[in-house]
């Protein structure tokens, strides 16, 4: 049985992890490679690097980070932020990334999804969809945001999710900007609506504050994976604690040390 994935997200700018961490046992908690290795050893199922600066210089730095990371971290690595062409994708894949996350570039040039899927395989094209809730009568609705959540597009997120998959996305990374940073839980309605709509795996993101929230996203939200940053970075919970909690509640989880 396919297990649910726990994915720590590392926001990086100019080669440094942005959100501070409180791991005192790391030599340099701001070094993305060292933090990635730490999570790998803790039993993370996958890692996401997001270059939130997304400058051309930052991209070069990210290639270096991915290269160094893939030398010591033997779980899937997903890389996003500022990837605008099939050439950018190739550079990251050649550096050792397994998946490419595209967001604004996919909205601006949807053909980028197809190009990536055809050249590199659907399994390595992740479309990240940033959303904000819209109030429109009784029906819930979500609008797609681009440019790191700054720019509303008027595009319906549920439609865009289906369209991304039609174009070749192998996975969706859904972020609720209403919930992000609030630590009050994922937007379960958004997650469930899109997870039921598409046939590809869905990663829930934005709002994790407790282990119960992870459980809710996987069960009520029907997500295939949960992404979280601060609850892990600040050491509120370890990956292992999160996994043991979810396993104790009956979720299929890979527990390192028991099975590996």
Partner 1 sequence: MKSSDRREITIIDYGAGNLRSVANAVIKLGYEPVVTGNPDKVLAARIVILPGVGAAADTVHSLRELGMEAVIRRLVREKRPLLAICVGLQVMLSETEEGGRHPCFGIVPGRVKRLPEGQKVPHMGWNQVKQRTSHPIFQGIPDEANFYFAHSYYADPSDTSAVAGTTDCGASICSVLIKDNLVATQFHPEKSGDYGLRIYTNFLRLAEQSQPERRTRQ
Q: What is the 3-state secondary structure (H, E, C) of 82-134?
A: CCCCHHHHHHHHHHCCCEEEECHHHHHCCHHHHHHHHHHCHHHEEEEEEEEEE
CB 252 within 8 A of CB 215: no
The interface with partner 1 within residues 129-158 (CB under 8 A) comprises none
178 labelled catalytic: no
Does the protein bind partner 1 through residue 260 (CB under 8 A)? yes
Q: Which is nearer to partner 1, 153 or 256 (CB)?
A: 256
Does the protein bind partner 1 through residue 250 (CB under 8 A)? no
CB 67 within 8 A of CB 95: yes
Q: Which is nearer to partner 1, 25 or 199 (CB)?
A: 199
136 labelled catalytic: no
CB 10 within 8 A of CB 17: yes
Closest contact distance (angstroms) between CB of 236 and partner 1 is: 24
Binding test (CB under 8 A) with partner 1, winner from 11, 37, 88, 98: 98
Q: With H, G, I as helix, E, B as strand and everything else as coil, classify residue 38.
A: helix
- Are β-strands 202-205 and 225-228 bridged in parallel, bridged antiparallel, or unpaired? parallel
CB 169 within 8 A of CB 113: yes
Instruction: Single out the catalytic residue among 37, 130, 180, 187.
Output: 130
Give the Cα separation of 134 and 189 in Å (integer): 13
Of 30-38, 72-80, 129-137, 234-242, the window that binds partner 1 (rule: CB under 8 A) is: 72-80
Does the protein bind partner 1 through residue 28 (CB under 8 A)? no
Of 14-22, 74-82, 146-154, 212-220, the window that binds partner 1 (rule: CB under 8 A) is: 74-82
CB 39 within 8 A of CB 72: no
CB 239 within 8 A of CB 232: yes
Binding test (CB under 8 A) with partner 1, winner from 28, 64, 71, 111: 71
Binding site for partner 1 (CB under 8 A): 1-5, 40, 45-46, 67, 70-72, 74-76, 93-96, 98, 120-124, 170-171, 199-201, 224-225, 254, 256, 259-260
Catalytic residues: 11, 130
């Amino acid at each position: 049985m396919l297990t649910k994935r726990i994915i720590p997200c590392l926001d990086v700018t100019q080669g440094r992890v942005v959100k501070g961490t409180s791991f005192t046992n790391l030599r340099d908690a701001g070094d993305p490679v060292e933090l990635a290795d730490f999570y790998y050893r803790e039993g993370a199922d996958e890692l996401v690097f997001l270059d939130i600066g997304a400058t051309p210089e930052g991209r070069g730095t990210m290639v270096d980070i991915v290269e160094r990371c893939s030398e010591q971290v033997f779980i899937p690595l997903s890389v996003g932020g500022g990837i605008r062409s099939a050439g950018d994708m190739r550079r990251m894949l050649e550096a050792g990334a397994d998946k490419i996350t595209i967001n604004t570039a996919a909205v601006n040039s949807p053909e980028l999804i197809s190009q990536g899927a055809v050249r590199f395989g659907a399994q390595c094209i992740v479309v990240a969809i940033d959303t904000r809730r819209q109030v429109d009568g009784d029906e819930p609705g979500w609008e797609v945001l681009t440019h790191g959540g700054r720019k509303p597009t008027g595009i319906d997120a549920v439609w865009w999710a289906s369209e991304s998959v039609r174009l070749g996305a192998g996975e969706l990374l859904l972020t609720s900007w209403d919930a992000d940073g609030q630590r009050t839980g994922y937007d379960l309605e958004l997650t469930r609506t899109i997870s039921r709509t598409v046939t590809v795996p869905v990663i829930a993101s934005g709002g994790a504050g407790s282990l119960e929230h992870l459980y809710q996203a996987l069960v009520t939200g029907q997500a295939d994976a949960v992404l979280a940053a601060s609850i892990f970075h600040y050491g509120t919970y370890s990956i292992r604690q999160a996994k043991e909690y979810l396993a104790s509640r009956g979720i299929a989880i890979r527990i390192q040390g028991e099975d590996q």
